[in-house]
């Protein structure tokens, strides 16, 4: 099994002056850099999914993979872009992670992979407190064509598509804080700074 880590970095922080979330800084470090540092040890290679100006990502050695079109079809479009890229690289799976979630678990990939294997299902996603986090998911390249067809038919809901195929949910602890907490507002960023200063 070969796994490509795909960082979903296409969002804009509309409540933070519309800045590209990938380059919002936490303790002087862009959120993209934090995501790369966290995900890299867990996968074989990294790719970045974004529809922003490619010049912004020129300093990074990782492939930049935009969505197939400009329809801004949500997270599934990023997943499909990742699966298409992975197929071209000969990888069997991708694991996706959102760029605006600076404290996602360092054992994310292992636990998602193991859950899918143990439950004999093709997909897995993270969960905390009974709430699923489908953008933190384990996706087989073998379902790429199915996802492309579903999206062509208007599918946009991640949970609806994963439910068709079988998806393990992996509970992560939310104590002392939810590791899937994401940065959407200046208040969120301030909280992230506090968490980071405490060693998170």
**Domain segments of the chain as ranges:** 3-197
How much is the pLDDT for 71? 62
Comparing 122-131, 172-181, 190-199, which segment has the lowest mean pLDDT? Answer: 190-199
Average pLDDT, the chain: 93
In CATH, what number does 3-197 get?
3.90.550.10
Residue with tokens 């933070």: 16
pLDDT tens, position by position, 64-83? 999 987 666 688 999 999 99
Of 196, 33, 200, 45, give the one whose Cα is nearest residue 100. 33
How much is the pLDDT for 132? 96
Can you point out the beta strands (E) in the chain?
3-8, 12-13, 19-20, 25-26, 29-30, 45-49, 93-98, 123-128, 131-140, 167-171
How much is the pLDDT for 195? 94
pLDDT tens, position by position, 156-177? 899 999 999 999 999 999 999 9
Band (20; pLDDT cuts 50, 70, 90) = confident
């Amino acid at each position: 099994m070969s796994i490509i880590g795909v960082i979903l970095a296409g969002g804009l922080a509309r409540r933070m002056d519309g800045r590209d979330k990938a380059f919002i800084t936490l303790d002087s470090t862009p959120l993209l850099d934090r995501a790369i540092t966290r995900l890299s040890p867990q996968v074989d290679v990294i790719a970045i999914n974004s529809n922003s100006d490619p010049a912004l990502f020129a300093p990074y050695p990782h492939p930049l993979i935009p969505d197939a079109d400009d329809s801004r079809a949500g997270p599934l479009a990023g997943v499909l872009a990742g699966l298409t890229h992975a197929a071209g690289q000969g990888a069997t799976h991708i694991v996706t992670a959102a760029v605006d979630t600076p404290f996602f678990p360092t054992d994310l990939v292992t636990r998602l992979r193991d859950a899918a294997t143990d439950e004999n299902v093709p997909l897995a996603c993270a969960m905390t407190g009974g709430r699923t986090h489908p953008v933190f998911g384990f996706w087989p390249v073998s379902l790429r064509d199915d996802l492309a067809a579903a999206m062509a038919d208007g599918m946009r809901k991640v949970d609806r598509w994963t439910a068709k195929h079988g998806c393990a949910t992996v509970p992560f602890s939310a104590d002392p804080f939810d590791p899937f907490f994401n940065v959407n507002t200046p208040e969120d960023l301030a909280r992230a700074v506090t968490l980071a200063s405490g060693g998170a």
